[in-house]
């Protein structure tokens, strides 16, 4: 049986949130971290746990080794202890650099506190005695590039595997070393470190640290320790061991080779980022039967990896297991090409002599010497777009041809390019010839070079959402985001005046703002004329399906074979989505990015990989020349066989409301379902309802006017009507408004029985056609969760109410007669567990008996027009929507997923909180409008105290008969922490509000009934918490009341790692289309699996 090796990596593997999943889920990991953190706090004055998991500024803190050093040790040691507790025990430990401290502790040479203390002292002494330094990871043979002159300014700090080494140097020599490597055609990356570890430039800390180490006493190793400083296995540690592993070069490759001559192993990477496991994939000798296991990654799944490793490697005492050696799958590779900005005078000098025929053809197509332009640039044209783009295309192509020759011609798994570089990616993938590509780029450069009157600027230090928020806040609507280059590098484009005006605004936010030397606003709306002309030019060409997937800037997804020309044209006026392109490749398990001819993109890729999560797209990526085995895994096109999104649900329902899809967006309280939301849905052909509940009549009227001013051509829309048994006149006033403005569709909610106002709306829309058939001009979509309420809506209106309305002259005698021939509502929406008011029902339990009831009432009343029944509540992804249709729903209605969209009336702060919730981040709380009877609403729980506080208020109400009975200590807590006002101040505001509404009787009632007064004071808190959430007040976020359901958590999970992860990219109509398309795909896949089974 193979021996188990725990491997511990060093500085540079850290990242914020490392180990957070394990910290939350694994008691041993959590307790170990908590036990060690006080030592860091006492010596450094800061908490590792806070920096990793709590502080928003934690990423900056981790840039200092006094935090990153102990953080790495703590995570590695805690992970090792977690493995040991699960019966995964090492036979040997291997430490690389800083990882040697955790290795020594697990080997039993020192206890964890002593090792951590030594880590902290090393970090503090380096900060005190050593000048800043740099380290570069280099791909290439050191013997070839470490010339005598270059060795004077840098040192070889590590040999990780053949062709991968690390150089250390002082900060002031970085540019010289990079230039040397660049001239030698070598790929390299800067490492995220502060000092030149493993080199003479940290020797200033040597003696102070050795003096400190004299106080330590090492025990003989209980487990052998493989030392990467000496490439040997140690049974005892010398007194200066911890200095040696910091100063001596890392000999990881030699260490592994020495081990492999003795045995085969199960290598378990206990480091934060799987760094050593990656090195091993390239460094194990040919034919090795050793296994490699990775546990932690910046991209998550730590718990799943832990479970898998534990299952494979557990070896309880006294028991042996046989394990078949396996190798992890090879690394996926992407070749990437830089775009405009990577050009420099002299580029191509190494490759022009290699491909004279191509250089000659390029010059013939361009009408000038491309070689003279690149090498001499005698007319200073290389920086002009019309010349830059074809020159860079040619040099990129020649560099790639040389790369293929030198590396055996094997194709990568993916290609991608930044802006112009995308043409080289398509060329490499065989989409067109060298000559065609150059003609395209020549025309593109001419069009883009001719554009004028625009400008661009790079914003450094802010995320895309932060940049967009600043643009929105300052109404800089003339500016577009042009390039999503990295998590902290965003390029904006717009008019010259707008870009100039924006500089002061961004600089005032302590952001770096760099105006770019360009003549136009590339990749923005201002390039649409050029885009249109280029599209006409592209129509003259035909394209071949790429043999390797090429990731498109415009979408961050692979090119579609039949849309190459369309996508290339769109790229000119659309943003470069480089972050999403790299995240998509990360989701496809690409961990080898090879940049051709430069390292511009490599730096961006490194930052993206360190800070962003992968985009995991379930669609298979196939070479474009290979047809998929089954069409059901792709979206079903119009006219194609299979289930189509436009045919889901009931055709009658779609026809009734004039819809393309059997899908509605439900109303959300207090205008969260805003006029803008309803307008956008209506223009897209979807029915949605304005959230009138809780709004004063003037706001409702303004909403109607706004919607009707935009939806003038019969597009669908509706308004919300909430039952109001306490103040029926208020309900009647809303119906009066609807009738006044000719509203024909309403969503009825919170009704327990039929009310005169509701029935009046329904009946006042009844008439007969020329044949005497009943025509229902007023439609009600009734949201119900109880069978008795469903029955009431599916029955004719109560005769007593009809008679009363007729007597009052509010309906005609014909309408009274027709009332017995139609149900109150032809459209019933069964609402399962949802946000806001909910009975917490289960869809699969509720819908089937309701459908049976529907069929029975339809038959018994012999309605001429069938009743449709849909489902709402819990629909946050395609699987849930598919389940609704399979249960028999005629339509679906979504709610919670729409409140976190651009159009929703929720505050930006509220949306930002909602986009982060998971399926368990909601809670039931008392409903403010029905507080006394204990009715419940479902609300946001994550990051707020509202649910707990609201439930406490209900408990106090149930246990006390007045405010005066509340204990003084509790009263102080409520007034000081919950309300931030005294009971008397709140009652004064409440009484004044009732009087202003003409409801003086409520004040009289409360003064006479102390318990009712207590209820009204407590109700004030509910209204306050809703108001501040809607307004987005920063100072009291913990009191936000946001009604939402777990469906939003499900939706957030579904769109994780896609552009829709940010609410700023969520549009309510696009969500609907995406959800329905995915639902159809899911049903087609499921049906195919069923047939195959």
| Catalytic sites, residue numbers | 419, 523
Contact assessment for residue 458 and residue 503, using Cβ atoms and an 8 Å cutoff: no
Tokens at 565, concatenated: 């020309």
Task: Kindly state the greatest CA–CA separation across the chain.
Answer: 107
Q: What's the Cα-to-Cα distance from 708 to each of 420, 704, 718, 719, 847, rounded to whole Å?
A: 45, 6, 11, 12, 34
Whole-angstrom distance, CA of residue 1034 vs CA of residue 1028: 9
DSSP 85-131: HTT---SEEEE-TTHHHHHHHHHTSS-HHHHHHHHHHHHHHHHHH--
In terms of Cα–Cα distance, which of 787, 779, 772 is closest to 823? 779
* Residue with token string 């195919």: 1088
Whole-angstrom distance, CA of residue 932 vs CA of residue 953: 11
* Residue with token string 């498109």: 552
Whole-angstrom distance, CA of residue 188 vs CA of residue 604: 13
Tokens at 62, concatenated: 């981790």
Query: Which element (helix H / strand E) includes 14?
Result: none
For CA atoms 971, 973, 974, 976, give the dihedral sign.
positive
**Residue 315: which residues within 8 A CB-CB, separation 6 or more?**
4, 87, 88, 89, 321
* Residue with token string 């496991």: 277
* Residue with token string 């067109």: 432
DSSP 409: T
Region of 873 (left: φ > 0; alpha: ψ -120 to 50; beta: rest) is: left
Torsion angle defined by CA atoms of residues 177, 182, 183 and 185, in that order, rounded to the nearest 10 degrees: 130
Whole-angstrom distance, CA of residue 857 vs CA of residue 861: 6
**Helix 1010-1031, helix 983-996: angle, nearest 10:** 80
What b/e sequence results for 561-585 when a residue is b if at least 16 CB atoms lie within 10 Å of its CB, and e otherwise? eeebbebbbbbbbbbbbbbbbbbbb
Residue 1063 burial class via C-beta count within 10 angstroms: exposed 0-12, middle 13-18, buried 19 and up:
buried
DSSP 139-196: ES-HHHH--HHHHTT-EEEEEEETTEEEEEEEGGGHHHHHHHHHHTT-EEEE-S-SS-
**Other CB atoms within 10 Å distance of the CB of residue 715:** 18
In terms of Cα–Cα distance, which of 692, 698, 822, 682 is closest to 764? 822
């Amino acid at each position: 049986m193979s021996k188990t090796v725990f491997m511990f990596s060093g500085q540079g593997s850290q990242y914020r949130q490392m180990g957070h999943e394990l910290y939350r889920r694994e008691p041993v990991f959590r307790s170990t971290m908590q036990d060690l953190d006080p030592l860091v706090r006492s010596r450094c004055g800061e908490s590792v746990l806070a920096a990793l998991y709590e502080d928003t500024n934690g990423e900056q803190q981790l840039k200092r080794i006094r935090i990153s050093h102990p953080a790495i040790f703590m995570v590695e040691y805690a992970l090792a202890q977690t493995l040991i507790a699960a019966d995964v025990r090492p036979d040997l430990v291997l430490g690389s650099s800083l990882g040697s401290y955790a290795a020594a502790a697990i080997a039993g040479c020192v206890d964890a506190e002593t090792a951590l203390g030594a880590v902290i002292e090393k970090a503090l002494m380096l900060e005190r005695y050593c000048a800043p330094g740099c380290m570069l990871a280099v791909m290439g043979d050191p013997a070839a590039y470490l010339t005598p002159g270059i060795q004077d300014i840098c040192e070889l700090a590590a040999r990780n595997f053949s062709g991968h080494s690390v150089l250390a140097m002082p900060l002031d020599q970085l540019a010289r070393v990079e230039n040397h490597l660049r001239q030698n055609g070598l790929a390299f990356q800067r490492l995220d470190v502060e000092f030149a570890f493993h080199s003479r430039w940290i020797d200033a800390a040597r003696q102070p640290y050795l003096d400190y180490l004299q106080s330590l006493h090492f025990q003989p190793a209980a487990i052998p320790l493989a030392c990467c400083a000496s490439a040997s296995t140690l049974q005892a540690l010398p007194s200066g061991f911890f200095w040696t592993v910091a100063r001596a070069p890392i000999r990881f490759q030699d260490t592994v080779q020495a081990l492999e001559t003795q045995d085969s192993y199960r290598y378990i990477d206990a480091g934060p980022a799987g760094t050593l496991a990656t090195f091993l994939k390239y460094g194990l000798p040919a034919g090795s039967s050793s296994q490699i296991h990775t546990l932690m990654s910046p991209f998550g799944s730590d718990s799943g990896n832990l479970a898998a490793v534990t299952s494979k490697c557990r070896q309880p005492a006294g028991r042996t297991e046989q394990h078949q050696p396996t190798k992890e799958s090879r690394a996926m590779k992407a070749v990437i090409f830089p775009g405009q900005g990577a050009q420099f005078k002299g580029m191509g000098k190494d490759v022009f002599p290699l491909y004279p025929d191509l250089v000659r053809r390029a010059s013939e197509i361009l009408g000038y010497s491309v070689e003279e332009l690149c090498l001499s640039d005698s007319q200073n044209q290389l920086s002009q777009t019309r010349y830059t783009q074809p020159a860079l295309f040619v040099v990129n192509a020649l560099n790639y041809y040389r790369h293929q020759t030198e590396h055996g011609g094997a194709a990568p798994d993916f290609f991608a390019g930044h802006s112009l570089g995308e043409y080289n990616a398509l060329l490499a993938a065989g989409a067109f010839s060298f000559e065609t590509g150059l003609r395209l780029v020549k025309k593109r450069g001419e069009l883009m070079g001719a554009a004028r009157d625009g400008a661009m600027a790079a914003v450094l230090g802010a995320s895309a959402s932060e940049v967009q928020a600043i643009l929105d806040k300052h109404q800089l609507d003339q500016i577009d985001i042009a390039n999503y280059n990295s998590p902290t590098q965003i390029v904006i484009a717009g008019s010259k005046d707008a870009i100039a005006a924006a500089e002061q605004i961004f600089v005032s936010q302590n952001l770096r703002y760099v105006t770019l030397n360009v003549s136009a606003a590339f990749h923005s709306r201002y390039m649409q004329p050029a885009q249109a002309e280029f599209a006409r030019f592209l129509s003259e060409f035909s394209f071949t399906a790429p043999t390797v997937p090429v990731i498109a800037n415009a979408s961050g997804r692979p090119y579609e074979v039949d849309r190459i020309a369309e996508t290339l044209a769109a790229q000119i006026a659309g943003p470069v989505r480089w972050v999403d392109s790299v995240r998509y490749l990360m989701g496809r398990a690409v961990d080898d990015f090879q940049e051709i001819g430069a390292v511009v993109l490599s730096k961006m890729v490194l930052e993206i990989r360190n800070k962003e999560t992968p985009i995991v797209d379930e669609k298979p990526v196939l070479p474009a020349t290979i047809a998929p085995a089954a069409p059901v895994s792709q979206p079903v096109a119009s006219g194609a066989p299979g289930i189509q999104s436009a045919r889901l649900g009931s055709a009658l329902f779609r026809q009734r409301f004039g819809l393309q899809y059997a899908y509605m967006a439900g109303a959300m309280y207090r205008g969260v379902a805003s006029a803008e939301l309803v307008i956008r849905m209506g223009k897209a052909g979807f029915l949605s309802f304005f959230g009138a509940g809780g709004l004063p009549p003037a706001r409702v009227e303004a909403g109607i006017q706004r919607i009707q001013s935009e939806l003038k051509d019969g597009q669908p829309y509706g308004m919300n009507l909430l039952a109001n048994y306490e103040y029926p006149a208020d309900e009647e006033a809303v119906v009066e408004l609807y009738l006044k403005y000719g509203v024909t569709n309403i969503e009825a909610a919170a009704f327990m029985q039929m009310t005169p106002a509701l029935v009046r709306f329904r009946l006042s829309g009844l008439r007969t056609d020329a044949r005497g058939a009943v025509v229902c001009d007023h439609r009600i979509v009734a949201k119900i969760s109880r069978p008795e309420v469903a029955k009431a809506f599916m029955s004719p209106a109560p005769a007593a109410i009809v008679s009363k309305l007729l007597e009052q002259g509010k309906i005609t005698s014909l309408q009274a007669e027709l009332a017995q021939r139609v149900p109150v509502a032809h459209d019933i929406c069964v609402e399962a567990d949802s946000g806001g008011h909910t009975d917490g029902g289960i869809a699969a339990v509720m819908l089937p008996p309701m459908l049976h009831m529907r069929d029975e009432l339809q038959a018994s009343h012999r309605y001429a027009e069938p009743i449709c029944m849909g489902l709402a509540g819990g629909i946050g992804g395609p699987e849930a929507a598919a389940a609704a249709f399979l249960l028999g729903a005629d339509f679906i209605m979504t709610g919670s997923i729409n409140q976190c969209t651009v159009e929703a009336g929720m505050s930006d702060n509220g949306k930002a909180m909602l986009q982060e919730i998971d399926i368990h981040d909601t809670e039931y709380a008392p409903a403010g409008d029905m507080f006394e009877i204990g009715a419940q609403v479902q609300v946001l729980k994550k990051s707020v105290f509202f649910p707990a506080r609201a439930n406490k208020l209900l408990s106090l109400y149930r246990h006390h008969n007045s405010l005066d009975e509340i204990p003084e200590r509790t009263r102080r807590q409520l007034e000081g922490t919950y309300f931030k006002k005294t009971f008397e101040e709140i009652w004064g505001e409440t009484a004044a509000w009732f009087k202003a509404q003409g409801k003086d009787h409520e004040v009289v009632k409360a003064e006479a009934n102390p318990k009712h007064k207590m209820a009204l004071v407590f109700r004030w808190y509910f209204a306050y918490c809703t108001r501040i959430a809607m307004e987005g007040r920063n100072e009291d976020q913990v009191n936000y009341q946001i009604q939402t359901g777990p469906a939003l958590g499900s939706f957030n999970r579904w769109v994780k790692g896609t552009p829709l992860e940010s609410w700023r990219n969520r549009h309510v109509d696009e969500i609907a289309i995406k959800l329905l398309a995915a639902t159809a795909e899911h049903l087609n896949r499921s049906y195919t699996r069923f047939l195959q089974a």
